[in-house]
Structure 1
Amino acid sequence: MTKLAERPDWVNRVYCEDALAGLARIPDGSVDLILTDPPYNLGKDYGNSSDQQSVADYLRWTEAWIDAALPKLKANGSLYIFLTWRYSPEIFVMLKQRMAMMNEIIWDRRVPSMGGSVRSFSSVHDTIGFFVKRKDYYFDLDAVRIAYDAATKKARSRSIFIGAKWLEVGYNPKDLWSVSRLHKEHPERADHPTQKPLEIIERMLKASCPPGGVVLDLFMGSGTTALAAKRCGRDFVGFELNPDYCAIIEQRLAALAQELTAEAMPQPEKKAPAKRRATVPKAAKVAVKTPVAAKKPATAKKSSAVKKTPARKARSAAVAEDVVI
């Protein structure tokens, strides 16, 4: 069980227990968003039998947790649910009887098209349902707009945009989300078979949970919803039945807390580099010649006995060998 901040007792916690039993901890009408990725009932091993039920049992169980979770939503709250195409029609009908469906979003996992069945087309997507309780639901489109690429910006002045409204902040994300699944070497990767990328979860949070709001995840898995909430300035509450996954969530949240603390600490100011004095190359050695004293004009010879006195050489001036200007 993880607690990150002094909030109501049930906020910013992951309870290592069955969500159906634990939802009683959460007051009705207290969460802004339900964002969840339930077992797909495809026979995967999550450390329990939750993904290995009969079709009838799986659908009954799904309806039970939906009925237990929806009262926790605020009146203007929303729900996102990850599903497989095998069960999305039945579960969408359940939810349509209780909420209004806004979108069916296709997550293209961008997996290689090698292998797969030889008697059907390869499945490379997950289905995401987006539902709301009423018409005035919270939705912040500007928070998730996608910036225009260079080619689109260049085309802005062309006639194809005549009569169209140009939005400087970017365009509305479509209902086809192409985001690569997390490969084994991905830095986000944890030891969980169906871990979802932060990019997808953060998009849902920014669009459908107000800053400071609370997101509920009934099937936390590796804890990506909790991490995304803290990264986006939201609070969370969730449940996970497998103790091994609870330990992974604990580790991931602790690492994120250290990261956020380090980012919040004031960084030492970087000193501007000292100005370097311009270096002037040393001048070459200056050869200074001592001027030679000019000879006096010859005088008339007095006698051959008179000896000529040689002119005295002037002393050389003292000159430094290297001159720096």
Structure 2
Amino acid sequence: MNKKNSKRLELNKIYCQDALKGLKKLPSNFFDIVIADPPYNIGKDFGNNEDKRELTEYIVWSKKWIDECIKVMNKNATMYIYGFSEILAHLSVNIPLEKRWLIWHYTNKNVASLNFWQRSHEAIICCWKGVPIFNRDEIREPYTEGFLNSAAGKIRKGTLGRFSKQGKETIYNAHVKGALPRDVIKVPALAGGAGMTERWFLCKTCDNVFKPLKLKEHADHKIIKHPTQKPLDLTIKLIKSCMPKKNGTILIPFVGSGSECVAAKKLGLSYIGYELNPDYIKIAEKWLEDTNFHPGLF
């Protein structure tokens, strides 16, 4: 099936279904982007008991859903997979695609450990088919103050006849949109009060989805929130890096509370997502209702 036949699929929908089962029903070579934020196998409570398997079992399971994702990626598609580096290292060797490693550096927290290195980052595998789209100018980063003050606009010493054209020395040029993107992405995690404007909560007591400002009204109620929600700034950057100029479609195998779906809607892209926990789907759908397309983001 190609994009012309996409009416057979119901786009912009989250299916309450196991990802592996759902992926097998999708058409081959269809999606432009895959963003996978699977359970990390560290015992987090996602409303089921599927986040603590034997390592070998986890690797076998991961290979199955990754293989299905590869089948449905189009010829120039990109896939991002979140995880801890010690886990992703086992998965990376089984991915038959070109790949690079990215680092998401939390700028506002460490995961405390008295017995070993404190964790301050998560890894992201970036893998692709064919010649991938890479929109470098859409994800440029602010220049460092040191570069702007001491180098921008000045001659690069020793470049005469080495890198330059026509025998001229080259100059440190500052691009209007900023520096080229690096493979260490610095974005605050949604820890403590950070990113509270992005969080939505489900009250099981009164079956209501609400924003943080109403937390006090539900102080004695049973509240559900996603434990590993990703920041929108991070998700939007990943999508913008490889999204087509129009009519892009994203596959989200593990929706969680919906960050990737919301980012897709903001950027004007279509998506299909899967999530096992109906409570998280309620949160994601309410967040999506509150989200609009923002043409200026791309």
Alpha-carbon contact 1:183-1:189 (below 8 Å) kept: no
**In the alignment, residue 117 of structure 2 is paired with which amino acid?**
F
Q: Deviations over 1:57-88 (max 9, x none)?
A: 11110011111121100011111000112211
Q: Within 5 Å, which residues of 2 pair with 1:231-246?
A: 231-246=266-281
CA spacing shift, 1:8–1:140, aligned 2, 3 Å: farther
Please report how far the alpha carbon of residue 163 of structure 1 lies from its aligned counterpart in structure 2 after TM superposition. Answer: 2.3
Alpha-carbon contact 1:109-1:180 (below 8 Å) kept: yes
Gaps of 5+ in 1: 1-5, 265-325
**In the alignment, residue 88 of structure 1 is paired with which amino acid?**
L
CA spacing shift, 1:133–1:147, aligned 2, 3 Å: same
Distance, in Å, in 2 between the alignment partners of 1:87 and 1:183 is 22
TM-score, structure 2 normalization: 0.78
Distance, in Å, in 2 between the alignment partners of 1:81 and 1:216 is 12
Aligned to 1:83: 83
**In the alignment, residue 116 of structure 1 is paired with which amino acid?**
A
The SS at the match of 1:76 is: strand
**In the alignment, residue 51 of structure 2 is paired with which amino acid?**
D
**In the alignment, residue 188 of structure 1 is paired with which amino acid?**
E
Aligned to 2:118: 122
Aligned to 1:33: 33
Match of 2:103 among 92, 102, 106: 106
Distance, in Å, in 2 between the alignment partners of 1:218 and 1:50 is 15
**In the alignment, residue 138 of structure 2 is paired with which amino acid?**
A
Aligned CA RMSD, in angstroms, stands at 2.2
Alpha-carbon contact 1:33-1:208 (below 8 Å) kept: yes
Alpha-carbon contact 2:153-2:172 (below 8 Å) kept: no
**In the alignment, residue 121 of structure 1 is paired with which amino acid?**
W
Alpha-carbon contact 2:155-2:171 (below 8 Å) kept: no
Aligned to 2:252: 217
Gaps of 5+ in 2: 1-5, 158-168, 201-224
The SS at the match of 1:127 is: strand
Aligned to 2:241: 207
Distance, in Å, in 2 between the alignment partners of 1:196 and 1:160 is 40
Aligned to 1:182: 190
Please report how far the alpha carbon of residue 241 of structure 1 lies from its aligned counterpart in structure 2 after TM superposition. Answer: 0.5
Please report how far the alpha carbon of residue 184 of structure 1 lies from its aligned counterpart in structure 2 after TM superposition. Answer: 4.0
Could you list the runs of 4 or more consecutive aligned residues of structure 1 that deviate by over 4 angstroms after TM superposition?
A: none
Please tell me whether residue 140 in structure 1 is matched to residue 117 in structure 2: no
**In the alignment, residue 228 of structure 2 is paired with which amino acid?**
T
Distance, in Å, in 2 between the alignment partners of 1:165 and 1:25 is 51
Distance, in Å, in 2 between the alignment partners of 1:165 and 1:157 is 5
Distance, in Å, in 1 between the alignment partners of 2:153 and 2:66 is 49
Aligned to 2:70: 70
Please report how far the alpha carbon of residue 147 of structure 1 lies from its aligned counterpart in structure 2 after TM superposition. Answer: 4.0
Aligned to 1:253: 288
CA spacing shift, 1:188–1:153, aligned 2, 3 Å: same
CA spacing shift, 1:157–1:110, aligned 2, 3 Å: closer
Q: Deviations over 1:25-64 (max 9, x none)?
A: 3211110011111100001111112211111111110011
Please tell me whether residue 169 in structure 1 is matched to residue 165 in structure 2: no
**In the alignment, residue 128 of structure 1 is paired with which amino acid?**
I
Q: Within 5 Å, which residues of 2 pair with 1:192-203?
A: 192-203=226-237
Distance, in Å, in 2 between the alignment partners of 1:184 and 1:122 is 18
Please tell me whether residue 230 in structure 1 is matched to residue 265 in structure 2: yes
Alpha-carbon contact 1:29-1:72 (below 8 Å) kept: yes
Alpha-carbon contact 1:10-1:25 (below 8 Å) kept: no
More displaced 10-residue stretch of structure 1: 149-158 or 219-228: 149-158
Q: Deviations over 1:139-163 (max 9, x none)?
A: 1111111243665344323334752
**In the alignment, residue 140 of structure 1 is paired with which amino acid?**
N
Aligned to 1:276: none
TM-score, structure 1 normalization: 0.72
**In the alignment, residue 220 of structure 1 is paired with which amino acid?**
V
